[in-house]
Amino acid sequence: MAPRSGKTTGLAIPAILDAPGPVVLTSNKAGGDAFTTTFDARAAVGTVWTLDPQQIAHYPRRMWWDILDSAHDLAGAKRLAGHFVAASVDENNSNDFWSTAASNTLAALFLAGASAGRPVTDVLAWLASPSDRTPVDLLADAGHHAVAAQLQGTVSGAVETRDGIYETSRQYASCLLEPEIAAWVTRSAKLPEFRPFDFAQSRDTLFLLSKDGGGSAAAIIAAAADSVMRAAVAVAERSGGRLDPPALCVLDEAANVCRISDLPDLYSHLGSRGVLPITILQSYKQGKRVWGDNGMDALWSAATIKLVGSGIDDIDFADQLSRAIGEHEVQTTSVSRSESGTSTSVSMRTERILPPDQIRALPKGKALVLATGTRIALIDLKPWYAEPSAKTLGPASDAATASITDRALAKLTQDDFGACS
């Protein structure tokens, strides 16, 4: 669905309000969006955790999450590095030499940090000085000899190559250079820790906020969402196969703020474990830019319910949908008059039920539903603001939006004051 067609108001928000268990939301908008609209309702059923590293809601830091928590094994460290790569480059460029080498180096450093219980800021320090032997030693101490040798190989290789790899790695992880951003993902003695495993068994809410095109900070958001989904699957596997109540993961504006590279693979595991992902994209093409042609096709097939709304500006996709919807027989009656009288003939002709041009012209608020085992249906979305509960949700959202403005203003005045004094 194109921008402003009802993705957030008609899908994300109603799903969150109906969720019986824990909820994760990724979003690139704070005021007047899913964050402000659902905040109070979700705070009534559990703890609300807000990860707002780029301060799009100017939300005070009241939590910390250990970004290295999932990097205790090589697979986890690689996935974490992958989030930083995916946030910085498109799928098409993620396989060149520098990206791959930088991704491997980041993974090795994350693994070293996690194994030794170091904060992610130490990883940054190691990135700044490639000749520092500490990560190699930590990896060896933790028994990761092959990774240690690989990192040692990179560090002692040709200087130009090494510097190129380290510079690329630093770019991928650049968001962590901002102390304000890094603070959200490093240990704090004063603040409560967000723990994905506890979260999966709660009715809490995790709001993951990040700027549109947020660059490498989007990696933190993707890593947190990924971490929660994997923790939820692990908890489900330990407790009889399914999470009960199920966890809802709304990846709103997924292509902009939540590029989980292996989401297509992950998708097929989630549903059967009671972890329900909703991935919201502006177009099929947007998905292809993130996951590649095959990845997006896999994601599309793995989703058991697909919704296509207004603003599809892709002729091939519209035609594909039109063909999937099918044809029907249309009766045409023709009347001919001659001297001997009038004759009527009836003939049947097959026609597309919904031709591509009508799919492209779907009005706002309408959507096609493609669900496994049923025919494609045309439905009306039910945006939250048109429901009876809007009477309470509307004012709550307005108040939450107003407090974002207040916090922004307070910060401005503080900064002005700081500059003057």
Ligand X SMILES: Nc1ncnc2c1ncn2[C@@H]1O[C@H](COP(=O)(O)OP(=O)(O)O)[C@@H](O)[C@H]1O
Give the footprint of ligand X on this chain (CB under 6 A).
1, 3-10, 385
Helix (H) or strand (E) holding 405: helix 390-420
> Which of ligand X, Mg ion, none does 9 bind, CB closer than 5 to 8 A by kind?
ligand X
Give least dist CB 42 to ligand X, A: 18
Of the pair 113, 309, the CB lying nearest ligand X is at 309
Minimum distance, C-beta of residue 411 to Mg ion, in the bound complex (Å): 25
d(CA 227, CA 254): 15
User: What do you get for the CA distance between the two ends of the chain, in Å?
Assistant: 49
Q: Which helix (H) or strand (E) holds 79?
A: helix 74-88
Site for Mg ion in 78-97 (CB under 5 A): none
From the list Mg ion, ligand X, none, partner contacted by residue 5 (C-beta under 5 to 8 A by kind): ligand X
* Interface with Mg ion, residue 8, by CB under 5 A: yes
User: Of 35 and 267, which has the nearer Cβ to ligand X?
Assistant: 35
Q: Which residue's CB is nearer to ligand X, number 10 or number 264?
A: 10
Residues of this chain, 335-354, that bind Mg ion according to CB under 5 A: none
Q: Tokens at residue 337, please?
A: 């008059």
SS3 content of the chain, % helix, strand, coil (to 5): 55, 15, 30
Nearer to ligand X, 13 or 260 (CB): 13
Reported as type and span, the H/E element at residue 288 is helix 284-302
Query: Which whole-number Å values give the CA distances from 216 to 28, 176, 222, 244, 278, in the listed order?
Result: 14, 8, 10, 34, 23
DSSP summary character for residue 184: G
CB 412, CB 405: distance < 8 Å = no
- Find the part of the chain contacting Mg ion (CB under 5 A) among 4-12, 94-102, 113-121, 138-146: 4-12
Q: Which residues contact 404 (CB under 8 A, 6 or more apart)?
A: 30, 31, 36, 57, 58
- Nearest to Mg ion of 37, 168 (CB atom): 37
Are 154 and 167 spatial neighbours (Cβ–Cβ below 8 Å)?
A: no
Q: How far is the CB of 348 from ligand X (least distance, A)?
A: 40
Q: How far is the CB of 281 from ligand X (least distance, A)?
A: 10
Cβ neighbourhood burial of 70 (10 Å; 0-12, 13-18, 19+): buried
Beta partners for residue 347, in sequence order: 332
* 6 conformational bin, left if phi > 0, alpha if psi -120 to 50, beta if neither: left
Kindly tell me which of 119 and 365 has the beta carbon lying closer to ligand X.
Answer: 365
Closest distance between ligand X and the C-beta of residue 209, in Å? 15
- The nearer residue to ligand X, 72 or 382, going by C-beta atoms, is 382
Q: At closest approach, how far in Å is the CB of 8 from Mg ion?
A: 3
Cβ distance to ligand X smaller for residue 27 or 50:
27
Out of ligand X, Mg ion, none, what residue 4 binds, judged by CB under 5 to 8 A for its kind, is ligand X
Under rule CB under 5 A, how many of the chain's residues touch Mg ion?
2
Which one of the spans 6-14, 60-68, 74-82, 360-368 is the region binding Mg ion (CB under 5 A)? 6-14
Shortest Cβ 296–ligand X spacing (Å): 19
Shortest Å, Cβ 363 to ligand X: 12
The sign one gets for the Cα dihedral 396, 398, 403, 408 is positive
Residue 9 interacting with Mg ion (CB under 5 A):
no
Nearer to Mg ion, 15 or 45 (CB): 15
Give the nearest distance from C-beta 117 to ligand X in angstroms: 41
The site map against Mg ion for 233-272 (x = CB under 5 A) is ----------------------------------------
Which of the stretches 3-11, 97-105, 142-150, 334-342 binds Mg ion when contact is defined by CB under 5 A? Answer: 3-11
Residues in CB range of 119: below 8 A, 6 or more apart: 68, 113, 186, 187
Q: Which residue has the tokens 């599309």?
A: 300
**Structure tokens of 176?**
């962590």
- Which residue number is nearest to Mg ion in terms of Cβ? 8
Nearer to Mg ion, 280 or 296 (CB): 280
CB of 36 to Mg ion, least distance (A): 12
**DSSP H or E stretch at residue 232:** helix 217-238
Do 248 and 19 touch, CB atoms closer than 8 A? yes
- The region of 1-9, 298-306, 359-367, 377-385 touching Mg ion under the rule CB under 5 A is 1-9
For Mg ion, the binding residues (CB under 5 A) are 7-8
